[in-house]
Amino acid sequence: MQDSTTALALALVLASAAAHATWNLLLKKAHRQEVFAWWLSGFGLFGALPIAVVLALRTSFEVVGIWYIIATVLLHICYFLFLGRTLARSDLSLVYPIARGFGPGLVPILAVFSLGETVTPAAWVGIGSIVVGIYTMAWWGQLRQFTTRATLFENLPGLGYALLTGLCISLYTIVDKRGVAHVSPFLYLYLMTAGVAVGWLPYIIRNYGVAGIVHEWRGAWRSVIVASALLFLAYGLVLTAMSITDVSFVAPVREVGLLFALLLGALVLKEWVTRGRIIGAVLIVAGVVLITLSR
């Protein structure tokens, strides 16, 4: 039974990783990325309302779950804000892997202390392999340049926000693990999405105005609908996986989405696949295998 549960959780997380990489591709191609990102939550608020109503009537909801929803909404708003400032202050290839890699490195440690989970030595090696793989993909051939005085000080603000982004990822992962124990995963996700859409709206209006929001919808509404559905599916699958297995297993395996992003970048965006990215991809796959075999 344990093996079948692990296999199901792995399948859910891998499907989630593919969906996550795809909606990130659509976000990358957007004209105003912050407005496009807000529309993902904004459209989800109304587009998924019928499903949310059915889930609310047919699934359990414990009152204590409200506090976890509030916490994850606040953390996700901070995540989007920090991510936007990260990308505005430094190169995507430098800070995005740091943001995504820092979270999985923290989650098992937080899970041990806050959730009482155990992590086997093989799983620790697998987690380390995933994190090293992410950094290898980002820094191969750039380390000498990065460590020069001028480049280091130039990238410090972006790196700081990247670490804050990773911290938000690790914290909302722990919160969500507890939250789905009290609220069904997809209903939890809908309420989180609605909270982010409402809570983030003042920032978007102040920076882009209502006209900017409308203009982005008119120019990219098809992509918004597809990306919103994929975002909802991606995190819903992760929450479902966390409801049946340990978060210290789910969080690192999610990072296999970087492989899908690498493939999409090469095939769709015609990006050059460097040796460092290939080595990093191999390390990530090895980490996923180690974590899976350690269960």
Rounded distance between C-alpha atoms, residue 94 and residue 87, angstroms: 9
Residue 280 confidence (pLDDT): 78
- Chain mean pLDDT for the chain: 79
Q: How confident is the model at residue 279 (pLDDT cuts 50, 70, 90)?
A: confident
Rounded distance between C-alpha atoms, residue 295 and residue 289, angstroms: 10
Rounded distance between C-alpha atoms, residue 220 and residue 201, angstroms: 18
Residue 149 confidence (pLDDT): 46
DSSP state of 203: H
Share of the chain above pLDDT 90, in %: 16
In this structure, which long-range contacts are made by residues 195-200, counting pairs with CB atoms below 8 Å and at least 24 apart in sequence? Answer: 195/69, 195/70, 195/72, 195/73, 195/76, 196/41, 196/73, 196/76, 196/77, 196/80, 197/38, 197/41, 197/42, 197/44, 197/45, 198/45, 199/73, 199/74, 199/77, 200/38, 200/41, 200/77, 200/80
What is the amino acid identity at position 158? G
pLDDT in tens, 111-156: 777 767 677 788 788 878 877 877 777 666 555 444 444 444 454 5
pLDDT in tens, 74-120: 999 998 888 777 766 665 555 666 777 676 667 677 777 776 767 77
**Are 17 and 256 a contacting pair, CB within 8 Å?**
yes
The C-alpha R_g of the chain, in whole angstroms, comes to 19
> What is the distance of C-alpha 30 from the center of its chain?
18
CA distances from 8 to 3, 31, 32, 250 (A): 9, 37, 37, 11
pLDDT in tens, 180-226: 889 888 889 889 989 999 999 999 999 999 999 999 999 989 999 99
Q: How confident is the model at residue 231 (pLDDT cuts 50, 70, 90)?
A: confident
